[in-house]
Amino acid sequence: MDNSVGDGLIDIAKWVPSPNFDERPEGAIIDLLVIHNISLPAGKFDGDYVEQLFTNCLDCDIHPDFRDLKDLKVSCHFFIKRNGELIQFVNCELRAWHAGISEHNGRNNCNDFSLGIELEGTDDKPYTDAQYLRLSELTKILMSLYPALTTENIVGHSDIAPSRKSDPGIIFDWDRYKTGLI
């Protein structure tokens, strides 16, 4: 089964291009997967605000939670909504701006060699069955396309930026997720 639409695009994902990316460093090998969470406003689900944020279309004046996001340029490769809908914002071959200041196994700038997946959620609310299913399905596809990406190289944002980030949170069921990869 061929799951790519073209180099770096996944056919099970809705394509919503973000302008927030750049080229990976020459010779970079994709060997890290970073799991994040996001909700806009905080703790609210099922709106289009996350898509608007990643495409630089969010009106930051419409909600107090959005004020700190003004002029922020961020993205991820993939976003999984509560119902399992999968959206791709950045081609996997390119460098999405998801990890920020980060370090993994002695290497800085994790955006250079990672893929980022955002789950619609918070650190303290359980993720949905549909999200775990879609996340496992997507991860298997990515692991087949990028052989250096192994289960040992799947981390949370909190693992690569522990002083700044806590996502995907203590509620994220790593065992369930990794069991789904078998």
**Catalytic site residues?**
118
Residue 110: phi and psi, rounded to 5, are: -60, -25
In angstroms, the CA 7 to CA 11 distance is 11
In a 13 Å sphere around the CA of 109, the CA atoms on its Cβ side amount to 5
In angstroms, the CA 51 to CA 137 distance is 21
In angstroms, the CA 50 to CA 39 distance is 7
**171: nearest Cα among 129, 112, 125, 115:** 125
What lies within 8 Å, CB to CB, of 96 at 6+ separation is 18, 20, 21, 75, 76, 77, 89, 90, 111, 115, 116
Beta strands in 39-104 (DSSP E): 78-80, 86-88, 95-96, 103-104
